[in-house]
């Protein structure tokens, strides 16, 4: 197939392109900056705000996989532009092009839109997809980890100091980026039980991971046994303000992120898992974390 991919230069997008190319698919992908030439990939200069670039990306495609989105912004408008208006542009151009199949990557945060601007923007984007009239499927990943990830990287780095700060209470599901990429490709053909559904994939661990368990697993992957420091919602907000003051636009922990990190239940819904006959996770999380730590070391990220 020929697949139109947004977000192809990002963490999830790069894993998706690697897998799609290995399976013989052709890719047309958006890129804001010039990319290295790659067999099987046509790079389209532009972003979600450019209808012309979107049209060029979708020309001759069999399906759109919409991965691009804003995960961190200092102001609400950043999420609105990237996640809501960007998704609307994808939908409108797909309809103009007569391209019916859309696989859209959302987030578990869309389940709790009142907690954060990020989650609210993802919920609004989902509403647009559901009202689009396209043959849509929405995927709500939990925390994603794996090679090239810059979000969980912070926890791997700090674990070397002998401690890992985490929200004090709660549980979360996780998924390896390669397992997520396999699901996105498996969903492309559509069919009964797939079109018009929202799926919440994970690593297969029932009831997810406590924050303590996940922190210790990251420490184990790095070859240590770090102390886990449980942070209250108030402390997380203070830490977020400090991070914004020190790193400004480069801050990883913003007040918006602290708000949804503090929520106690980011475990996928049992009834929302993808059909077992279509997809199941292959990568056991402890081994996946260990492989990720090895990749970070090889790239000198830690």
- Provide the residue ranges of all domains of the chain, joining segments of one domain with +: 2-144+174-203+269-276
pLDDT per residue over 62-121, tens digit each?
Answer: 999 999 999 988 788 999 999 999 999 999 999 999 999 999 999 999 999 999 999 999
Parallel, antiparallel or unpaired: strands 227-231 and 163-167: parallel
Percent of the chain residues topping a pLDDT of 90: 84
Per DSSP, helices labelled H in the chain are: 11-22, 51-58, 76-79, 86-97, 117-130, 153-159, 177-187, 211-221, 233-247, 255-261, 285-298
Does domain 2-144+174-203+269-276 sit in CATH 2.60.40.2140? Answer: no
pTM over 0.75: yes
Concatenated DSSP letters for 269-296? PGGGSPPTTT----S-HHHHHHHHHHHH
pLDDT at 258 over 90: no
Task: Specify whether the CB–CB gap between 166 and 217 falls below 8 A.
Answer: no
Indicate the SS3 state at residue 17: helix
Q: What is the mean pLDDT of the chain?
A: 94
Give CA–CA dist 39/31, Å, rounded: 16
pLDDT per residue over 175-193, tens digit each?
Answer: 999 999 999 999 999 888 9
Q: What is the pLDDT, as a whole number, of residue 242?
A: 86
- Residues in contact with 60: Cβ distance below 8 Å, sequence separation at least 6, in sequence order: 2, 28
Percent of the chain residues topping a pLDDT of 70: 100
Q: What is the pLDDT, as a whole number, of residue 291?
A: 98
- Residues in contact with 282: Cβ distance below 8 Å, sequence separation at least 6, in sequence order: 178, 179, 182
Measured over the CA atoms of residue 275, residue 263, residue 105 and residue 19, the dihedral's sign is: negative
Confidence of residue 260 (pLDDT cuts 50, 70, 90): confident
Give CA–CA dist 56/187, Å, rounded: 23
Task: Specify whether the CB–CB gap between 5 and 35 falls below 8 A.
Answer: no
Task: Specify whether the CB–CB gap between 31 and 9 falls below 8 A.
Answer: yes
Q: What is the pLDDT, as a whole number, of residue 215?
A: 95
Give CA–CA dist 274/201, Å, rounded: 6
pLDDT per residue over 228-257, tens digit each?
Answer: 998 888 888 888 888 777 777 777 778 888
Least Cα distance to 173 among 140, 216, 124 occurs for: 140
Residue with more model confidence, 42 or 75: 42
């Amino acid at each position: 197939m020929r697949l139109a991919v947004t977000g192809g230069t990002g963490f999830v997008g790069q894993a998706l392109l690697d897998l799609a190319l290995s399976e013989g698919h052709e890719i047309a992908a958006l890129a804001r900056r010039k990319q290295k030439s790659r067999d099987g990939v046509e790079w389209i200069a532009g972003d979600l705000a450019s209808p012309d670039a979107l049209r060029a990306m979708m020309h001759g495609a069999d399906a759109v996989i919409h991965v691009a989105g804003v995960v961190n912004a200092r102001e609400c408008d950043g999420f609105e532009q990237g996640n809501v208006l960007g998704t609307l542009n994808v939908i409108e151009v797909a309809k103009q092009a007569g391209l019916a199949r859309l696989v859209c990557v959302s987030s578990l945060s869309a389940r709790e839109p009142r907690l954060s601007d990020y989650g609210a923007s993802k919920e609004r984007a989902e509403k647009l997809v559901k009202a689009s009239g396209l043959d849509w499927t929405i995927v709500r990943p939990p925390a994603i980890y794996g090679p090239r990830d810059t979000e969980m990287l912070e926890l791997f780095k700090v674990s070397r100091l002998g401690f890992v700060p985490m929200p004090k209470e709660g549980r979360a599901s996780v998924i390896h980026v390669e397992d997520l990429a396999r699901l996105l490709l498996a969903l492309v053909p559509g069919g009964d039980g797939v079109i018009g559904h929202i799926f919440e994939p994970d690593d297969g661990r029932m009831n997810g991971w406590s924050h303590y368990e996940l922190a210790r697993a990251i420490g184990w992957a790095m070859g240590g046994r770090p102390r886990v420091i449980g942070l209250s919602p108030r402390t997380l907000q203070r830490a977020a303000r400090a991070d914004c003051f020190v790193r400004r636009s480069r801050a990883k922990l913003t007040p918006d992120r602290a708000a949804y990190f503090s929520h106690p239940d980011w475990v996928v819904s049992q009834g929302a898992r993808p059909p077992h006959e279509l997809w199941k996770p292959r990568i056991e999380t402890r081994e996946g974390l260990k492989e990720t730590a090895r990749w970070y070391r090889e790239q000198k990220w830690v």
